[in-house]
Structure 1
Amino acid sequence: MIDALPVWQIALVLLIFIWSGFVRTALGFGGAALSLPLFLLIIDNPVEIIPIIGLHLLLSAGISLVSSYQHIDWRYLGKTLIVILPFKIIGVIGLLNLPATVLNISVYLITLAYAISYLMKTTPRIRVPGLDYALLAGGGYISGTSLIGAPLIIAVFAKSLPPIRLRATLFCLWILLVLIKMLGFIVTATPLNVNWALYTLPFMAIGHILGEKAHKKILQVDKAKFLRIIGLGLASICLIGLARTLYVSIG
């Protein structure tokens, strides 16, 4: 339990929440994927921390959308939700039981290919009919079973939406997907750790404010540089995720 941690580890947890808030707000994604591996170095059980991250995301995304809702691409969001939502629900209720390690490695490798293409100033060269739909479906399912489905979804969204619309549209999507996840926690009587969500809220807020400033600077760059920033974020998620997945499977 978080309550049982020594003071120095609680201090590290608070610093990670600042990092989580910063990344989420600056890029529109990555708050969970880039912080959860760090949290798991301190807290063994991810179920203790995931509800807190979810509650923080709902709050920070909601605040950001107050001033940027006009940038949501509702048409694109609706089109992709038709694909994502059924698989999200399947993942939440566990209708399919696919090997977690295989799923994780597949997600990270596919996303890493997209990240490299963005870093190299190219668009992905893969021309497979229905590939984007497959990535959205896979992202929906895996986001239902864990928190690592977002990279697959972002890989599709980033090449389809202009920078000004990407973060707002993603935030709207994340709110809906996290609400479904939180409902799953409530149905299964999983503790939401609301008290710790409140205790850590000021630290997430610090990261959120810093992230807002960084996001304004990011929007000033051209599309090629924007995609390189997205690629760097995705690549970081993939490399950290692959390292932890392989470490856990080998260990």
Structure 2
Amino acid sequence: MADLAIWQLIIMALVFVWSGFVRSGLGFGGAALALPLLLLLKNDPLIFLPIISIQLMVFSSWIAWQGHRRSRAMIQTHAEASPSSNIDWSYLKKSMVIIIVPKLLGVLGLLTLPSQVVTALIFAMISVFAVSYIVNKPFKSKSRWTDIFFLTLGGYFSGTSLIGAPLIVAVYVSHVPRHQLRDTLFVLWFILVSIKMTSFIIAGVNLQLMNQIWLFPCAWLGHMLGLKFHDYIQTQGNVMFYRVIGIALLVVCLTGFFSQWIVN
């Protein structure tokens, strides 16, 4: 990144603040909403993906630990209360059984990468889900096979690119209680990103640790702001909560269209 001007480095820092805010505020979308902007500064995904991946692993494990600590404190304060968790471990395990194999296939590149037409269909499908949340008519899958289909596609595309999260989130929103949604997604992202980071190390990809030193504080600032935003939307009713999720999904899809057909 030594060839970038000062103003470009400032914009990059602001993008990582934005990435941290979205990630902790909603639990998804931090990478998908940041990478297209970063590629406008330097069109090389392998420079930014390791940085984003390391940050996601750090912050996701931090939030999961904080949620576990809050749950233990609540149990100790209210001895009569039944044990609770901010993570839906049951659905996480069920979904991982479906996601893991296509995820590995995507990472290893054993299948043909999706064409622009397939990518367009996926973003169009998720946009429909997003609009349904915005107008308070949330998508509810009535078929286990539909969930399997979306989770399988989401797992594969998360291995090959950054467009898998909207598919997975669309299913999780229908099955995971809203107060557990963000932390459950963080645990899932940690697992999936760990697989991708392992592939980076095996392939000898530069992890950009020196650039992480100055970009991590930017992401941390965004992370702290995002925590406050998440607390705010949790106090709102279901309509507001799902509307925010829907808007975020729609922005992710529009950003994906932008990066696929304009940046490239």
Tell me the TM-score range normalised by the shorter chain: over 0.9
TM-score (norm: length of structure 1): 0.95
Q: How does 1:40-55 map to 2 (within 5 A)?
A: 40-55=39-54
Alignment of 1:195-206 (within 5 A): 195-206=210-221
Q: Are the equivalent residues in 2 in contact too, given 1:20–1:34 (CA < 8 A)?
A: yes
1:226 aligns with 2:241: yes
CA 1:248–1:205: 2 relative to 1, 3 Å: closer
Deviations 1:125-174 (A, max 9, x none): 77566111111000000000011110100011012112110001000000
Distance in 1 of aligned mates of 2:143 and 2:11: 44
1:164 corresponds in structure 2 to 179
- Secondary structure at 1:225's aligned position in 2? helix
Give the TM-score taking structure 2 as reference length.
0.90
Cα contact 1:27–1:215 (8 A) shared by 2: yes
- State the partner residue of 1:6: 5
Match of 1:72 among 87, 90, 93: 87
1:189 matches 2:201: no
Which shifted more, 76-85 or 155-164? 155-164
Structure 1 segments (4+ residues) deviating >3 Å: 125-129
2:101 is aligned with 1:114: no
1:200 Cα deviation from its structure 2 partner: 0.6
How much is the aligned-residue C-alpha RMSD, in angstroms? 1.4
Between 174-183 and 67-76, the greater mean CA deviation after superposition? 67-76
Structure 1 residues 185, 248: CA separation in 2 closer, same or farther (over 3 Å shift)? same
| Distance in 2, Cα, partners of 1:168 & 1:99 | 30
Partners of 2:215 and 2:197 in 1: CA distance:
18
**Counterparts in 2 of 1:204 and 1:177: CA distance versus 1, 3 Å:** same
Matched, 1:133 2:133: no
Q: Which residue of 2 aligns with 1:173?
A: 188
Q: Computing the radius of gyration over CA atoms, which structure comes out larger, 1 or 2?
A: 2
Displacement after TM superposition at 1:248 (Å): 4.8
Whichever residue aligns with residue 102 of structure 1, its letter is V
Q: State the percentage of identical aligned residues.
A: 40
Q: How many matched pairs? A: 248
Q: Which residue of 2 aligns with 1:239?
A: 254
